[in-house]
Amino acid sequence: MDDTINRDGLLRISLMGGAARAFLMETTCMAEEARRLHSLSKTATAALGRTLTAASAMGVMLKDESQSVTASVQGDGPLGTVLAVAKPDGSVKGYVANPDVELPRRGNKLDVGAAVGRNGKLTVVKDLRMKDPYVGQVALVSGEIAEDFAMYFTASEQIPSLVSLGVLVSSRVEAAGGLIIQMMPGAGEAEIKSVENSAGMFMNISGVMQEYHLHGALEQLLTHLEPEVLEEIHPRYRCDCSRERVEKMLITLGEEEIRDMIRTQHGAEVNCHFCNKGYRFTEQELFELLRSATSREDA
Ligand code: ZN
């Protein structure tokens, strides 16, 4: 972004001597980049911003740099699927099926729950570079995203977790952030209580980020839980699409499909779902793809 300093950051934190761990995130520029790339409505900005923020932390939870995680929220509301992909460096990309949908506010809040829909599922696919990906799924709790991710961690991964996600939007993203606290196996009753009792102060995470930013938020929100910062990461919105990848995708569509494009459109225009970049292919280029596709089949 041109006129704003990018303060986005993610802190990986140990709490109470290792009884819990936390991921504290400032993701204002990440959410604004998503809004700008997809021309998102305010409600869609909040839904995707929250999902990207949670996904970013899940990316950082991965062990190996070749791995990735995809979180998709599929509710029965008008936004349709909200999807985010994250990598271990915290970088993310994502989209909303219907980016224009705007709903009336509920009180002074964007009605993300109604826009996503309260009936549906949250699916997490982790590509761990093994034979089969790991897939976890839970029914949506509210479509508000944070509660849905908390349910996913707690029910599907069996890690009791508290999740707060927030995006403050005017004509652009004013502030965005998140906090995920997860109890570790050795946690005792007293430590679980300490986290539960603090839940109320974690709710307005975007407001805290707007006022204090990442390190100030750490002080404001977690000091009483004896935080020890283990790592600071700078997550970004980043799409890794390229002409080469789009060519591969076209080839996987198969000979018939490519011949059909040549016949009916005399070329092809492919837009990346994640950044809306357009890739144009002339009739001639499609014929060349066809040749490499068929020679591959012969091999
Ligand atoms: Zn792209």
Q: How far is the CA of 122 from the centre of ligand 1 (A)?
A: 23
Q: How far is the CA of 278 from the centre of ligand 1 (A)?
A: 9
Instruction: Kindly state the tokens that stand for 262.
Output: 């040549």
Q: How far is the CA of 246 from the centre of ligand 1 (A)?
A: 10
Burial readout 209-244 (b: 16 or more C-beta within 10 A, e: otherwise): bbeebbeebbeebbeebebeeeeebebbbebebeee
Q: How far is the CA of 274 from the centre of ligand 1 (A)?
A: 5
Per-residue pLDDT of the chain (299 residues; tens, 9 = 90+): 445 689 999 999 999 999 999 999 999 999 999 999 999 999 999 999 999 999 999 999 998 999 999 999 999 999 999 999 999 999 999 999 999 999 999 888 899 999 999 999 999 999 988 888 999 999 999 999 999 999 999 999 999 999 999 999 999 999 999 999 999 998 999 999 999 999 999 999 999 999 999 999 999 999 999 999 999 999 999 999 999 999 998 988 888 999 999 999 999 999 999 999 999 999 999 999 888 877 655 54
Q: How far is the CA of 84 from the centre of ligand 1 (A)?
A: 13
Q: How far is the CA of 242 from the centre of ligand 1 (A)?
A: 7
Q: How far is the CA of 154 from the centre of ligand 1 (A)?
A: 32
Q: How far is the CA of 241 from the centre of ligand 1 (A)?
A: 4
Q: How far is the CA of 248 from the centre of ligand 1 (A)?
A: 14
DSSP state letters, the chain: --SS----EEEEEEEGGGTEEEEEEE-HHHHHHHHHHHT--HHHHHHHHHHHHHHHHHHHH-SSTT-EEEEEEEESSTT--EEEEE-TTS-EEEEESSTT-----BTTB--HHHHH-SSEEEEEEEE-SSSS-EEEEEE-SSSSSHHHHHHIIIIIS---EEEEEEEEESSSEEEEEEEEEEE-TT--HHHHHHHHHHHHHHS-HHHHHHHHHHHHHHHHHHGGG--EEEEEE---B-----HHHHHHHHHHH-HHHHHHHHHHHSEEEEE-TTT--EEEEEHHHHHHHHHHHHHHHH-
Q: How far is the CA of 239 from the centre of ligand 1 (A)?
A: 5
Q: How far is the CA of 190 from the centre of ligand 1 (A)?
A: 47
Q: How far is the CA of 121 from the centre of ligand 1 (A)?
A: 26
Q: How far is the CA of 279 from the centre of ligand 1 (A)?
A: 10
* Phi and psi at residue 206, to the nearest 5°: -70, -35
Q: How far apart are the first and last CA of the chain?
A: 47
pTM given for the model: 0.93
Q: How far is the CA of 130 from the centre of ligand 1 (A)?
A: 25
Q: How far is the CA of 179 from the centre of ligand 1 (A)?
A: 28
Q: How far is the CA of 48 from the centre of ligand 1 (A)?
A: 16
